Amino acid sequence: MNTDVGLFTKYKLSTFRNRGTNHNEASGLEEDCDTLGESKVKTKIFSIWNNMRHGWTVKMKTNFSKDSPVWLLGKCYHRKLSTVLNDSTSAVEAGEEANGINSFKSDFSSKFWLTYRREFPILNGSNFTSDCGWGCMLRSGQMLLAQALACHYLGRDWRWNEDQLPNSSKLFKEDCSHRKIIKWFGDNPSPNSPLSIHMLVSLGEASGKRPGDWYGPGAVAHLLREAVNFAAQDNNEFQHFSVYVAQDCAVYIQDVMDQCHDSWNTSWKALILLVPVRLGVEKMNSIYGSCLTALLTMECCIGIIGGRPKHALYFVGFQVGTSNQGLCGDLKQDYSEDVDTQPPSNTSVPIDLAHPISGPTSTAT
């Protein structure tokens, strides 16, 4: 799309020159060309740097300990259980195998991975065609919200299987829901992508943010709430759940009840609860470590986002005695228009804790 814009501008320049247009007008258009060209160069430099800095970690082979379980958003997996089954394997052992490391891989690979993109449609009011270098917290927030939507529409036990054909009504429905969620996060300003980075950046302008500004996790939490509320105006599917952002780490039960019950509708809205907290000054206070890992053992937890400027992470699990597992949005990938056919592919102190809650009974507890 940027190439088309560039060609159009050059065509207009040559036309003006042939017609003897005012020199100042032509100079202004030349400056626009230079600005677009400079923006592209910066985007490419940022892309190369971030891929060099973060891309190698994506290709590293994971090295889990055999002696302790792995936790992933409330699910517990153990590498010791991943043994070769034979005819003499008992029913108990077969049940344990279901929770082995291969099951962890299936669960982890089913998570949505949203990263930097380049060459997407220009962000309104700017020359940005990439979020490389500044959009990582927005991407982390998108991944967290995508996980909540997956739990809501597909269930926590849903797994993405690249080789599985939707040859039953259940699988077909799941496949449609999966593609629908992906499309909602498409990198374009279309109403069909109400959770796109274009929409988040546009909503951020109300709080003084501009394209290219870095967001903290607290600001992203409020953006996600605004994006869902805005989408609900035109899309009935967004009227079935609500986003609540805790103020000063306090969750007011009555506010939650009021938000999840409409006066004209007696049905309960599913709730996404976001709790922005700060766990230290320069670095995270280690006293909070056990609390965070305990949260990741809860099945109602949809993850934690946090980080520092220009490097944010979405934390989804941990293994006792080792580092946390997370998804990083810092790797750059090319923009794809055909989003509905694409398969999904040390934190700083401010973070967001998030939980999806399906009913009023769960909220009270």
Give the pLDDT confidence of 122-165 residue by residue, as tens digits: 988 888 888 888 888 999 999 999 999 999 999 999 999 888 88
pLDDT of res. 217: 92
Q: Rounded to the nearest 5°, which phi and psi values hold at 238?
A: -85, -5
Tokens of 282: 């320069």
Rounded CA Rg of the chain: 23
pLDDT tens for each residue of 10-63: 323 233 233 344 444 444 444 444 544 555 566 556 555 555 554 444 455 666
285 Cβ partners below 8 Å, 6+ apart?
Answer: 279, 349
Cα atoms in the 13 Å half-sphere on the side-chain side of 198: 23
Mean pLDDT estimate for the chain: 74
Tokens of 98: 């279901």
pLDDT > 70: percent of the chain: 64
Domain residue ranges in the chain: 1-61, 110-364
pLDDT of res. 156: 94
Query: Measured at the alpha carbon of residue 204, what is the angle toward residues 200 and 205, in degrees to the nearest 5?
Result: 125
**Residue that has been written with the tokens 């049905």 in this structure:** 267
pLDDT tens for each residue of 206-257: 889 999 998 999 999 999 999 999 999 999 999 888 999 998 889 999 999 9
CA dist 37 → 30, 88, 229, 339 (Å): 10, 67, 37, 27
Residue with the larger pLDDT of the pair 83 and 12? 83
CB 253 within 8 A of CB 339: no
